[in-house]
Chain A
Amino acid sequence: DAKTTQPPSMDCAEGRAANLPCNHSTISGNEYVYWYRQIHSQGPQYIIHGLKNNETNEMASLIITEDRKSSTLILPHATLRDTAVYYCIVRPSNSGGGADGLTFGKGTHLIIQP
């Protein structure tokens, strides 16, 4: 899996948009950008993924640059419950379950301030 680089921590005010960057300059053509988050003392939670087009779901938006070497996860209206470690992972998507575990980097610790 391609390596990713994320800032170790970020602060964001409650109610504002949280923009989390991720660099993945060695991404391959068949690799997707995945985002997961881990709230303290819980298992990780899937947020969103994309290949090259911008994606949006009920949790977040994912903006991928045209050269696909970086991306930004956007939480449009951050709440205190969004405080967590956010992991950006680059890997091929899989069908039928897949055979490989995920490689987690250090992620970004996002702290939402009241």
Chain B
Amino acid sequence: GAVVSQHPSRVICKSGTSVKIECRSLDFQATTMFWYRQFPKQSLMLMATSNEGSKATYEQGVEKDKFLINHASLTLSTLTVTSAHPEDSSFYICSVRGSTEAFFGQGTRLTVV
């Protein structure tokens, strides 16, 4: 199955700064990648669909200007949390869809202080 790598696995940033999270598909060319967010003791929620070479599609309630997604190649998508605030602290997970199942990165724990 596909190997999906996220970086960093943990990041702490100050309120008001921006943080970039990388998601790489190591052995699979992905025209589409997905970004999820998971708050403590809750389930994963789809934030956006990242499309290679075109604009991302955001789920209702997710601010596109705050969560910038760039999918410049078939193996890399990035999520930038701009002007981060403590309420953005969460576990961010990316995913690639294979031919039948989905493959997930190991997640990025973001803490905004």
Contacts and interface: CB of A to CB of B under 8 A. Distances in A.
Given A46-B1, A102-B102, A104-B44, 7 more contacts: A34-B101, A44-B102, A87-B43, A97-B98, A100-B49, A102-B44, A102-B95
Given A97-B30, A101-B36, A101-B49, A46 B102 contact: yes
Where chain B touches its partner, the secondary structure class is strand
Interface of B: 1, 4, 6, 30-32, 34, 36, 43-46, 49, 91, 93, 95-107, 109
Contacts, number: 66
A97 B32 contact: yes
3 nearest CB pairs, A to B: A43-B104, A101-B46, A46-B101
Interface of A: 34, 36, 38, 41-46, 49, 87, 93-107
Contacts of A106: 43
8 contacts: A43-B6, A44-B44, A44-B93, A87-B43, A93-B100, A94-B97, A95-B99, A99-B49
